[in-house]
Structure 1
């Protein structure tokens, strides 16, 4: 029980409705092996090895054998049920093998973005009492073993540091793949109950300490089912995985999704657009999940004469998709990019189906996926009329189990509704549009400025490549708005330019920003979300004394 929310009752309801299937990761993997043992499961590319050919190709039978061996090795190290294993790797095959091996022995994978450093890891590893961590020897010039070794005196629970590409005693190959320990096949595994924590993912919040979001295999399989059905994914699909596995989109919507479908997973560890598009074309990629900049980059490569990949579906989340990007994708690839709204606590909440992507993705963030209910209401859960902006609440089969070691932060009531923190409105067909954040709004003279709408207008400017609106204090008005924009060229962009564009767009004058700042690139967190609190600090200079 957490503030009235009964997790056991929720689990019973999800099972009774058929949304929770009680399948473990082993069930997914074994089904794929049985169906097509010789089929390619993983095709892995690494920048440091050259993107002209994969560094590893694994069939489903080979993946199954690798998972069995890794599970045996981890158990021999003393890793068991409930122990947390940090996975601080790029999108390498070793990540997939270790994640599935950990789940086989009841341990809990904790994906960690490879861009984290001492400050984040000191808290995350200590709070989770992480027992083992898997890291690269080096990635993008950073010495990961030295970093972790420096932290170990502060991490008494950390018994094992496993290093990919290390030939020494801590090497992944030696400790995990060639340890001599007896493999553990799926039939001899001890996975967690499908309703118990099977992954720990820290929120990528823009302020404050991160919270550990707990998901089980049931919530993740429900997500894979909902997305797979909406997209029409089958075992014939080739999933292009460049979105980091250290984030829920990469972990669940790509890694788990590909195994759930029994498809092929193509890994690229560093996003380089030209190389990525070439790999997609070479490997026959048909499905991808990534943020808007990836889709824009792909279109840019194709427009410049690059090969046209056979992408059939594209899940686009994290930020609204500019209409120009949607149109370019349709014209250049024949692709309908599907907008999605989701968060760590709820995985995928809404999605636009491909058949209506061209019509709906530019103006909405999709409609509720299977097993999810969405509600636009006030802070007291009183429903608001169609088209009126309010808090976005959600509940259902994809909802998290709670916050690790912090039940008091989970404010769900008896009916299970969770406040997403987003503001949104809903149209007559049930499609939602995110219209700001409940904690990130600009209120000028008592009137809410539609931040997301104004940002979308700025995005449509031909010279603007990125945009964000934040408020700064004003004694008379309460707040005023500052626009931060990144530009495609070095020419000046003044307030006069901004006002002219706002007027041309038809936006109400009371919504126009009163200040503009040119920025080389937006500060973003590990999930790619703009850290607006940093922009607010910069905008504070405009506040009158």
Structure 2
């Protein structure tokens, strides 16, 4: 079978991070078995009114691991996992970890050509997916790919029988595994793929030591412990959701599972499972606000923390949510597939910090803001955000060119990852995200970041969500189009937008010169706008005019 090949880590880097304690040899199943021994009857999973204890979770994991091993899955194999936030995802991920296999997460919307690309690039040996999802069968789709992808040997289905696949439910009846590989912190853990908001996804292989020790430090900083009930609105197939799952297992907390987001379903899960911590994207909470579901403070009375991440957080939204948490507060987190949690605000930071910044670096990581000429920016001056430290990945899977472009330097203390994010760093060390380098619009040689303009447009009562996208112009090089999803039943004109921007004092060169109203924007599973796809759609529309 094909086994994953990780980029090498210099010996000096290994020594540095183990000697300083930022890396250890803990594994995810070490955490599971620790809590199964210490608190066997404590709740591990709440799902649709049912509860799974840590003892039961441990037993199910060892049984499924036995079934997977019987299929030939072994240490180093890549297994693609495409499931919503449901018990089967958690159990499958842990069972793969127990065998030393590598979990490749696949977002639920991916099918057809996208799924083929991901499975072929990762050289996955096995696919685990739903028998039916909306109007497609992911398991049947993957089964059809076994004739195209040499490494893909088998498909495991979750749900009704799909001929030619193995049923996960039957595999969970296998006798529990009693012996498994002894892993260490340098072993491969998960394989994530970048969201591809501006380009094709890139594979991000991660070691146990890089992410789990970042998770443990986060649990301490965010005061997460075994008394918490943690709910991730972000899917587990995305880094943000997976981080939340690992945070739960590290702390011995319980996880409340939300398979599919809608504002009413989120509020119902919070109240039913008495969630204490919610990890969501700004768009999730904005949808709850717009549906007036945050007006009833009783819906939020169990919450001590709402973490917002996945895209830039409007300070007004953070303040709005914060003011409705009688027993807690809002924090922000900045992370990427390549680094996990790079920075976050702490629960005891003052409101003005929690509302307007993504906080200070996570332990073991360091940040800098770099200008176009390669020099460090002064405090509060915008530039590209670079990060160096213990949770940063080694390099992209089978893509040396992308790795060379992404990193500056070589040794542990001076190897910086260029994130592509635009940000400022305050004198106190708090980072504020302002946009993406590739989202800069260049109108006649005057460059500007569209984030502040979009924030104003999004606050218009006739707008549900917006994005500013450049389109080619023979004179200026680029002009700007506002692509807008209008509020239900609302009418909107370009003049309405420019009048609002004028009233807010926005410079005229930042105003959009074209308006396109659409039914929906292309978004990632964490509600981040896919700028590359949106620009492609706009270019086609402009060319058709």
Asked if the contact 2:435/2:451 (under 8 Å) is kept, the reply is yes
Q: 1:243 pairs with 213, 229, 234, which one?
A: 234
Partner residue in 2 for 1:49: none
Partner residue in 1 for 2:52: 58
Deviation at 1:220, TM superposition (A): 1.7
The CA distance in 2 between the partners of 1:426 and 1:331, in whole Å, is: 26
The CA distance in 2 between the partners of 1:517 and 1:284, in whole Å, is: 42
Partner residue in 2 for 1:287: 277
Q: Return 5+ residue gaps in structure 1 as ranges.
A: 46-52
Asked if 1:71 corresponds to 2:65, the answer is yes
Asked if 1:177 corresponds to 2:176, the answer is no
The CA distance in 2 between the partners of 1:375 and 1:133, in whole Å, is: 40
Q: 1:315 pairs with 304, 307, 315, which one?
A: 307
For the structure 1 residues 62 and 434, does the alpha-carbon distance in structure 2 shift closer, same or farther, using more than 3 Å as the test? same
Q: What do residues 448-477 of structure 1 show as CA deviations (whole Å, max 9, x unaligned)?
A: 112112222222333332121121222332
Partner residue in 2 for 1:37: 40
The CA distance in 2 between the partners of 1:63 and 1:475, in whole Å, is: 61
Q: Report the secondary structure of 1:307's partner residue.
A: helix
Asked if 1:385 corresponds to 2:383, the answer is no
Asked if 1:190 corresponds to 2:181, the answer is yes
Asked if the contact 1:81/1:192 (under 8 Å) is kept, the reply is no
TM value normalised by structure 1: 0.91
Q: 2:128 pairs with 134, 144, 155, which one?
A: 134
Q: What do residues 364-419 of structure 1 show as CA deviations (whole Å, max 9, x unaligned)?
A: 23221222111101356421212222111111111113222223421222221011
Asked if the contact 2:44/2:255 (under 8 Å) is kept, the reply is yes
Partner residue in 2 for 1:535: 534
Deviation at 1:309, TM superposition (A): 4.5
The CA distance in 1 between the partners of 2:128 and 2:452, in whole Å, is: 42
Pairing of 1:491-506 with structure 2 (within 5 A) = 491-506=490-505
Partner residue in 2 for 1:50: none
The CA distance in 1 between the partners of 2:182 and 2:330, in whole Å, is: 36
Q: How many residues align?
A: 528
Partner residue in 2 for 1:268: 258
Q: What do residues 272-295 of structure 1 show as CA deviations (whole Å, max 9, x unaligned)?
A: 322321221121100121211222
Q: 1:84 pairs with 54, 78, 87, which one?
A: 78
Q: 2:356 pairs with 342, 349, 363, which one?
A: 363
For the structure 1 residues 438 and 241, does the alpha-carbon distance in structure 2 shift closer, same or farther, using more than 3 Å as the test? closer
Deviation at 1:23, TM superposition (A): 0.8
The CA distance in 1 between the partners of 2:80 and 2:534, in whole Å, is: 31
Q: Report the secondary structure of 2:495's partner residue.
A: helix
Deviation at 1:543, TM superposition (A): 8.7
Partner residue in 2 for 1:349: 342
Asked if the contact 2:229/2:274 (under 8 Å) is kept, the reply is yes
For the structure 1 residues 465 and 234, does the alpha-carbon distance in structure 2 shift closer, same or farther, using more than 3 Å as the test? same
Partner residue in 1 for 2:333: 340
Asked if the contact 1:19/1:397 (under 8 Å) is kept, the reply is yes
Q: 1:8 pairs with 11, 19, 37, which one?
A: 11
Pairing of 1:461-540 with structure 2 (within 5 A) = 461-540=460-539
TM value normalised by structure 2: 0.91
Q: What do residues 20-56 of structure 1 show as CA deviations (whole Å, max 9, x unaligned)?
A: 12211122112212221110111123xxxxxxx33xx
The CA distance in 2 between the partners of 1:372 and 1:468, in whole Å, is: 32
Aligned alpha-carbon RMSD (Å): 2.5
For the structure 1 residues 483 and 108, does the alpha-carbon distance in structure 2 shift closer, same or farther, using more than 3 Å as the test? same
The CA distance in 1 between the partners of 2:301 and 2:110, in whole Å, is: 32
Partner residue in 1 for 2:97: 103
Q: Report the secondary structure of 1:301's partner residue.
A: coil
Partner residue in 1 for 2:388: 395
Asked if the contact 1:226/1:371 (under 8 Å) is kept, the reply is no
Deviation at 1:198, TM superposition (A): 0.7
Q: Return 5+ residue gaps in structure 2 as ranges.
A: 1-6
